[in-house]
Amino acid sequence: MSLHRLSSVTIGVPDPAATAPYYTELGLRAQDDGWFATRDGGRQLRIVSAPTRRLIEMRVGVDDSDDLDSAAARLRRMGIAAARGAGPSLTAADPVTGARAVLQVEPRPTPPPTPPTPYNGPGRTERTAGRAPGVMRPDRVRPSKLGHAVLGTPDPRATAAFFGDGLGFKVSDSLGDAGCFLRCTTDHHNILVLKAPVAFLHHTSWQVDDVDDIGRGAMAMLEDHPERHIWGFGRHFIGSNFFWYLKDPAGNFTEYYSDMDCIVDDQLWDPEVFDVNESFFSWGQPPPPSWIAPEDMAALMTGTHTA
């Protein structure tokens, strides 16, 4: 795959100053210019002002200028304008949602390996000289990287075609007419396009080291703000990852996750079509109504959304 990295997302919210501290608490490091950095991925989130909460831009790493030329040709055949930029880069916008995608030439990432967490189990004793690491870690959780974003769209097939047929994302699994999971890395998905009455950002997802860091991170976020809780703890069926969802002050959901499916050899993975009402979780509580249809959806539809 010529695409190799989900480099960053830019999200728009009505009040960036009120929203930004949440992401510092989430474990991202604030930069001086509106960007936030993950532990291993660098600058991966930017927050800007917008009338309603939305995905403004997604940046994706490619290998070379030939990859940009190929994407430009595919987009042109679809009737979608694309502009070359410095870097070099290629910029195009999804005609349905207006979300901007930027393909940029950059080196393939080489994240430092994280030692596997030792676990004891039947016939397997990996930890013999102390308490579990998950109960001894003193520091707050820091996400290692941005994993994916979920984009609400009135026309998921057209939006999926923009990312897949146009930019070069690959389909991992499908929800039929309700949505599509697509990847630009070996992770199961880097974007999910999901049917919605109006274009909006459903959530961004942030990888942590293991299931203990999901719990530690979420509990720290909820300690003084129980209203942030949305859904979790649980394990998804599609993607297989552990999850816990929280909500930022603008209404966007954020997900701590670990143990996502990885697709290294495309020939060994068969995309499936799932029922949207039965496939989001393997165990845990079912998703609350506010996760399926966020509470501010009516405001987003009528343009009366406020911070």
pLDDT digits (tens, 9 = 90+) for 249-296: 999 999 999 999 999 999 999 999 999 877 889 999 999 999 988 999
Q: What is the pLDDT of residue 302?
A: 85
β-bridge partners, 111: none
Task: State the DSSP string of 231-297.
Answer: EEEEE-SSS--EEEEEE-TTS-EEEEEE---B-S-GGG----B--TTTSS-SBSSPPPHHHHS-TTH
* Rounded CA separation 286/288 (Å): 6
* Rounded CA separation 185/255 (Å): 19
What token pair was written down for 4? Answer: 């190799």
pTM here is 0.96
pLDDT tens digit at each of 307 positions of the chain: 789 999 999 999 999 999 999 999 999 999 988 899 999 999 999 999 999 999 999 999 999 999 999 999 999 999 999 999 998 999 999 999 999 999 999 999 888 888 899 999 999 999 998 999 989 998 999 999 999 999 999 999 999 999 999 999 999 999 999 999 999 999 999 999 999 999 999 999 999 999 999 999 999 999 999 999 999 999 999 999 999 999 999 999 999 999 999 999 999 999 999 998 778 899 999 999 999 889 999 989 887 655 4
For residue 171, count other CB atoms closer than 10 A to its CB: 14
At how many degrees (to 10) do helices 16-26 and 211-222 cross?
Answer: 140
Distances in Å between the Cα of 60 and the Cα atoms of 9, 40, 63, 132, 262 are 9, 16, 10, 37, 18
Looking at the chain, the number of H-run helices and the number of E-run strands are: 6, 18
* Rounded CA separation 181/148 (Å): 10
DSSP 157: H
pLDDT per position as a tens digit, 222-259: 999 999 999 999 999 999 999 999 999 999 999 999 99
Q: What is the pLDDT of residue 306?
A: 55
Closest to 92 (Cα-Cα) out of 78, 109, 111, 108? 78
Q: Looking at the chain, how many residues does it have?
A: 307
Q: What is the pLDDT of residue 75?
A: 98
Residue 44 contacts by C-beta under 8 Å, 6 or more apart in sequence?
7, 8, 9, 28, 36, 37, 38, 145, 146
Q: What is the pLDDT of residue 114?
A: 87
DSSP 164: I
Q: What is the pLDDT of residue 307?
A: 46
Q: What is the pLDDT of residue 186?
A: 97
β-bridge partners, 57: 10, 100
